[in-house]
Chains A and B, each alone.
Chain A
Amino acid sequence: MKIDKVLIERVAKVARLNLKEDEKEGFVKDFKNILELFSKISKINTDNVELGVQPIKVENVFREDKIGKSLNEKEVFQNTNYKEKGFFKGPRIL
């Protein structure tokens, strides 16, 4: 696995982060150092080990199909000016 500017650019695109050129170089260095530390975990055998998605076992937590309160219009749009005729405004697709 090659850690270089191309990789950083690809990851940044997937994560929707614009990066400046010097930032990219900084992250290449960071990635190399940090992933070296993280790669330590490869040395331990984890065959047939269960995935620890949560630290404590939780199963089958449900909610009854009962209608609860929805937000009123003021609350829905409290934190944005990007609204029009009851819709949220967002960036265009094309």
Chain B
Amino acid sequence: MKPKDVLQEAKELNKRYNLFITLNENLFNEKASPKNEEKINFISVKDNICTKGLRTTAGSKILEDYNPVFDATVIEKSKKAKYIVVGKTGMDEFGFGSFSMNCAYEVPKNPLDETKSCGGSSGGGAGYTYASKFSNSSIGESTGGSISCPAAFCAVVGITPTYGLVSRYGLIDYANSLDKIGTFGKNVKEAVNLLNSISGYDEKDSTSINKEKENYEKYLGKDVKKLKIGVIKEYSNGEGINFEVEKEFWEGVKKLESNGLKYKEISFRLSDLVLPCYYIIAMCEASTNLAKFSGIRYGMAKELKGNFNEYFSSVRESYFGKETKKRILLGTFMRMAGYRDAYYIKALKLRSLITQEYKKLFKEFDVLLTPTMPILPPKFAEIEKLSTVENYMCDILTTGPNLSGLPMISVPVKKDRTVGMHFIADHLQENKIISIGDFYERIR
């Protein structure tokens, strides 16, 4: 596996599927000792993670020429573990979206069907992981489901770890209390290997969990029959879920059952409040995070004319996309005096209640299970017809565990199938989701 071949393939895939915003042309010069070529792994990285010397745009025009002066912690760690970055993958601008269609550069196409979306917001990374012969894993990021969704749509494995397990230093923020860096893999093992390399305490991130480093590989190949599974009723049946998805999901559940696992259907009390709660917090935080982009010190700028209000407003108008402006406006509104209590503060309280509900369920169950997405990967033409609310509603199954910072894994229900089985566990119980995800992959 030579860097030359990897880059060549990446360029071809990019031409066909627009999976990358920036390719690492320096791939040739990366330290790859010929003797140990087999030990080197090639990964792609979501473009909201800072890579020193390699353009980082977060899928936005406002960072079109941005070249970070530092590596994100996960990049430093992966370099140490001999991973080489092939390129920065296509994503919804700043993470705002579930189909990568809000990418200000070329929109990534699904390698399983070019007329369809890769999912979002980490679409390009999931697509490349599926399609590449050379790259088996990718670093992605999730705020409300942006790893799980593209994993399901591109028939790969996606791991979203516990909030704080992987350092956010160097991640361009969408919503600081919701963002988590995680991994894609062609299979559970590849996703876990990469997770091993990038996880761990980082003093540069105040929300980083200070605990001893775990080797997640030891949870592969385990016997999981003792694990109790709770299938969330509201998310696995009925009108909110596409019938094909529902059918294949239950086939997967029966497979688990016939292999000795017990499951029970349970109700999640606050299931219809999870989505609004997530979006309110996410947008409020995002609107403050994006305030820094105003044409000074970095990012796209304009001629220095007018006073600062005029200048800032002009730069931001020109270089932010529509969805970005929408979320900034909503986020700003919901924390303004007079509205803040009803939206922002209320949502923060509701989040505590939602987390409490999950904790209650985890007293009885080891793992919760739902389909990953309520729909199959849609065609681009269909997505364009969706209203904003319909668009947001696609996140209904993933926003809950993301809100509460729970670890989760999406495993394709069958090989190359674009329906995901979504296993969720309690905080810092990556062992359970890895073991059961790996087990399911073997028996499906």
The reply to whether the CB of B340 lies closer than 8 angstroms to some CB of chain A is no
Q: Which residues of A contact B381 (CB under 8 A)?
A: none
Could you say which residues of chain A place their CB within 8 Å of the CB of B349? Answer: 46, 49-52
Proximity bits, A20-40, B CB within 8 Å = 1, else 0? 000100010011011101111
A3 to B203, CA, bound (A): 44
| B:320-356 near A, CB below 8 Å | 320, 325-326, 328-330, 332-334, 336, 339, 342-343, 345-353, 355
* CB-based contact A94/B307 at 8 Å: yes
Q: Number of residues in A with C-beta < 8 Å to the partner? A: 52
Residue on A nearest B345 in the bound complex, by CB? A51
Q: How far is the CB of B122 from chain A (nearest CB, A)?
A: 20
Closest A residue, CB atoms, query B333: A11
Task: Report A-chain residues with C-beta under 8 Å of the C-beta of B207.
Answer: 54, 56, 58, 61
- Is there an interface contact between B307 and A93, defined as CB atoms closer than 8 Å? yes
Asked if B298 contacts A61 (CB within 8 A), the reply is no
Across the interface, do A17 and B320 meet the contact criterion of CB distance under 8 Å? yes
Main secondary structure on chain B at its contact with chain A?
A: helix
| Chain A CB within 8 A of B259 CB | no
Within 8 A of B (CB), among A66-86: 71, 75, 78-82
CB atoms of B304 and A89 under 8 A apart:
yes
Tell me how far the C-beta of A59 lies from the nearest C-beta in chain B, rounded to whole angstroms. 11
| Residues of the A chain whose Cβ atoms lie less than 8 Å from the Cβ of B345 | 51
A49 pairs with B353, CB closer than 8 A:
yes
Asked whether A79 lies within 8 Å of B277 as measured between CB atoms, the reply is no
Q: How far is the CA of A53 from the CA of B209 in the complex (A)?
A: 16
A44-B350, A79-B297, A93-B308 given; A34·B317 CB < 8 A = no
- Candidates A16, A53, A82; contact of B301 at CB < 8 Å: A82
**Contacting chain A: which of B35-43, B245-253, B268-276?**
B268-276
Residues on the A chain within 8 Å of B100, using CB:
none
Q: How many residues of B are in contact with the other chain, CB < 8 A? A: 73
B163 interface residue per 8 A CB criterion = yes
Q: CA separation between A51 and B279, bound complex, in Å?
A: 16
- B389→A52 contact, CB < 8 A: no
A91–B308 alpha-carbon span in the complex (Å)? 5
> For the complex, is B34 an interface residue (Cβ under 8 Å from A)?
no
> Which residue in chain B gives the minimum CB-CB distance to A54?
B177
A91 to B342, CA, bound (A): 36
With A54-B163, A79-B66 as given contacts, are A27 and B343 in contact (CB-CB < 8 Å)? no
Given A40-B272, A46-B349: A16 touches B313 (CB 8 Å cut-off): yes
Which residues of A sit under 8 angstroms from B135, Cβ to Cβ? none
Known: A37-B276, A91-B306. A18 touches B65 (CB 8 A): no
Contacts A52-B351, A55-B163 known; 9 new A-B pairs at CB < 8 A: A15-B329, A31-B329, A34-B388, A37-B392, A38-B343, A51-B349, A54-B207, A90-B304, A91-B296
16 A-B pairs whose Cβ atoms sit less than 8 Å apart in the complex: A17-B317, A18-B313, A18-B316, A31-B330, A37-B276, A44-B353, A49-B349, A51-B345, A55-B403, A55-B404, A56-B164, A75-B69, A82-B297, A82-B304, A91-B310, A94-B307
